[in-house]
Amino acid sequence: SLERLAANAPELAPLAEAAARYARASKASRTRQAYEASWGAFERWCADRMLPALPTTGTALALYLADRARVGRAVASLELDLAAI
């Protein structure tokens, strides 16, 4: 993460802070909240199956999306999940 980078390389802290500001400004607050929720669901799904969320694999991602679709997630919701991951 940017925070970890700044902690390990203090000379990069101003750049890390600027990058974090740019990232926050790039999406609306509600979009960021939706991405955070989707990412959290993926992390929990991976943890429950003892799979790493990062780095993930195409296989794990395909299984996750198939599982979400199986329980009735709409295509738009799956697209949001994919964008968040």
pLDDT-derived band of residue 2, with 50, 70 and 90 as boundaries? Answer: low
pLDDT above 90 for 63: yes
Q: Is the peptide bond before 55 cis (omega within 30 degrees of 0)?
A: yes
Closest-CA residue to 63 (of 80, 36, 39, 42)? 42
Dump pLDDT digits (tens) for 12-60: 888 888 888 888 787 888 998 999 999 999 999 999 999 999 999 999 9
Average pLDDT in the 70-84 region?
96
Q: Is the pLDDT of residue 6 over 70?
A: no
> Which residues does 24 contact at the CB level (< 8 Å), separation at least 6?
32
